[in-house]
Chain A
Amino acid sequence: MNRRGKLLKRYDVILIIAIVSVFFVFHWTRPREGQSIEVYVNGKLSMQIKTPGTYEVRDGDKYLMKVIFDGRRVHVEDSNCPLKICEKTGAIGPGGTIICVPNKMLVKFKTTANTELDVMTW
């Protein structure tokens, strides 16, 4: 077969593969944030939790509750609010949220994982 008749030559194929590789390497190796737990009080970020442990949440000097992260899931204990909805919510995983309305406190389990869920109705 006449090589001039070919649309793509060997170096063209190598060039295309190189371009595709660059795109994929860029896409898959860019830094990712991973998982973290963010605690907001009165709309302000109060703390960011990345390692397992028990953390006290305070609004200034006022004690609000304990947030416990076991490395996989997070839950609230010993809340000072009367409703205790934050405690009743139980442990949440990535993408979940714990809300305490009286204390205007929010625990968000942030994740960069591609979760399909956008919002919960409850």
Chain B
Amino acid sequence: MVGVSLVVVLLIVFLTSFFKAPPSYYEMDGFTLGTYCRIVVSSKKGSKVLAQVMFNELERVYKKYNPNDPSSVVSKINNSNDWIDIDEETFVLLDAAVRFSRLTDGAFDPALGELIRLWGFDKIAEKLPSRVPSSEEIGVALKRSGVDKLELDSQRRRVRLIDGAKLDLGGIAKGYALDRAYQVAKEVDKDCTGFVEAGGDIRILGPKFGSRPWVVGVRDPRKSDSAIAYLYLTSGAVATSGDYERYFEVGGVRYHHILDPKTGFPARGAISVTVVADNAVTADALSTAGFVMGAQWEYVVLEFPKFGGSVLMVTEDGSIRRSPTMVVYEQAR
């Protein structure tokens, strides 16, 4: 009889654990950073409160570095011809932007504000651009663009833009905001898990249910409802740059918002570049740089892992190219 009772008890325990409700994740949707954001988090210290703390941090970073906000730090820098004293956070972010620019031979460039304005991509949420600038206009804007016109003084922690250049941190600020959201979440609860997404860029907080990977689909650049690959992530970040969201067409030619700092025109060669990295700043900056360097896809997929990013690229002919290191993330664990 003891044996029977034992079997019954073990059976009940097994079945109960099999059908028990999974740990709950709180989900928050919102709009900030000029895009859609989604926070999925589980914390023993209060998932809802933690999600709100993270969202507030995204908002803070957005307001601070939004070039269209007259009160932002970026506007302050852009509207001055002289040195501007900046806080430590801004200095570190600008320094990182300059380093990524050097690392990618200028493919990533945080000082393309004039070019972006000329094309009309700075106000795209209000009005879709419809005109292709002339070569002369682009030539003028190029002379007022480029990271070489951004001077950082580390001794006095200040910054200066020369020759009328303007900052636009669109290629890195979103990643920075995601990393900050990650940091504030971990300060509150180092054991929290989940992820935070902003406009398709994702920062993982920790494994799903504490042990399983989050399944991240890589959007098919020409079929929005489909995925071309699946990534299995328990940590780190992933970012994608593509030509399919912010663009206009003239004469059957697509003009998208990712500009080549060397030509002043939308970059050609890739239609989508996804980068997996340890943090969102790296993923964000390298996905932009990889997109700009799309015509040199061999360099991107082979060299970018040395910079900390594994690449999955869709080239203009629809071919999928990937870093050898990307395979690690494409295997279900």
Contact = CB atoms under 8 A, between A and B. Distances in A.
Contact of A121 (B12, B35, B124, B217): B217
Interface string B8-23: 1001100100010000
B216 A101 contact: no
Contacts of B197: 119
A19 B12 CA distance: 8
Contact of B3 (A7, A91, A106): A7
A92 B128 contact: no
B147 interface: no
Nearest to B245: A85
A33 to B, nearest CB: 15
Nearest to B221: A122
Given A101-B31, A102-B125, A106-B29, A119 B195 contact: yes
Interface residues of B, number: 48
A96 B225 CA distance: 7
In this complex, which of B31, B128, B214, B231 has the most chain A Cβ atoms within 10 angstroms of its Cβ? B31
A117 interface: yes
Given A89-B224, A93-B225, A117-B230, A122 B3 contact: no
B224 A92 contact: yes
B11 A83 contact: no
Contacts of B126: 82, 102
Contact of B200 (A20, A93, A120): A120
Nearest to A81: B125
Contact of B202 (A27, A92, A116, A121): A121
A120 B218 CA distance: 6
Contacts of A122: 199-200, 219, 224, 240, 242, 244-245
Interface residues of A, number: 37
A118 B322 CA distance: 22
B29 A23 contact: no
Interface of B: 3-4, 7-8, 11-12, 15, 19, 29-31, 34-36, 38, 40, 124-128, 195, 197, 199-202, 208, 214-219, 223-225, 227, 230-231, 238-240, 242, 244-246, 274
28 contacts: A7-B4, A9-B4, A16-B8, A23-B15, A40-B29, A82-B126, A83-B125, A83-B128, A88-B244, A90-B225, A101-B31, A101-B35, A102-B125, A117-B217, A117-B227, A118-B40, A118-B208, A118-B214, A118-B215, A119-B38, A121-B200, A121-B218, A121-B219, A121-B238, A122-B199, A122-B200, A122-B244, A122-B245
Given A8-B4, A117-B227, A118-B208, 7 more contacts: A15-B8, A16-B8, A16-B11, A90-B225, A102-B125, A106-B29, A122-B240
Interface of A: 7-9, 12, 15-16, 19-20, 23, 26-27, 40, 43, 73, 82-85, 88-93, 96, 99, 101-102, 104, 106, 116-122
Give the top 6 A-B pairs by smallest Cβ distance, nearest first. A122-B200, A122-B219, A82-B128, A99-B36, A121-B240, A120-B217
